[in-house]
Structures are given as C-alpha cells and as structure tokens.
A = this chain, B = another copy of it.
C-alpha cells in the first residue's frame, strides 16, 4: 500500500554519495566549458532548476535529464561504458561455468544450419 521508491525512503548512503559525485562531475564539465546553468539547461531543453537538481545529486531526476546533459557536454558515449557485458567479469564467469562439459547432439538431428 505504502509506496517506497528508492528516492523516497532513501538509497543506501553509498549510492547517494555516488550520485552526488556524478552531479559534481557534470558541474565541473559545465564550468570548464564556461557555461552557466541556464546555458546548459537550455541546450538540454530543461529548466535551470532541473539541471541544478542533477548537479546537486538528486537521485530523483530522470535518465532523460542525465542523458541530455551528457549529450550537451559531449559525453554521450559514456553511458554505453557502464554495465558493459564485456567488462562484466563475474557475469562472463557465470555464463561460461554454465556451459555443459560436453555437447550432445539431439537424436532427431533437427539442428540449425549456420
């Protein structure tokens, strides 16, 4: 009944800190480019206040806002780096561990031709 979104009852403090640092990184990138909050916000098609929330580490802002900021600052590719399958060492290990020791062809022989 009661709603408990992560932003409402609080993320783990570690995550709050992480999002906060991300916001600061965006702020640094903006200032290095000599852009005001209004400058960057208008390029992102959001208001100054929304961008301000992002820079201040508010976990409630949407992915769209984050993505727009990255795009407007020239970091649009960075989002593809995170959770990348090829960098997921644990995941790759788990996947290979699940492969059968031997491969066994089905009797019906209805295999694919590839």
Inter-chain contact B29/A88, CB cutoff 8 Å: yes
* Complex CA–CA separation, A84 to B59 (angstroms): 18
Closest to A44 in B: B6
Interface residues of A in 1-50 (CB under 8 A from B): 4-7, 9, 11-12, 14-15, 18-19, 21-22, 25-26, 28-29, 32-34, 44-46
Q: Are A91 and B29 in contact (CB under 8 A)?
A: yes
Chain B: CB-nearest residue to A22: B79
Instruction: Spell out A's residues near B (CB within 8 Å).
Output: 4-7, 9, 11-12, 14-15, 18-19, 21-22, 25-26, 28-29, 32-34, 44-46, 54, 58-71, 73-85, 88, 90-92, 94-95
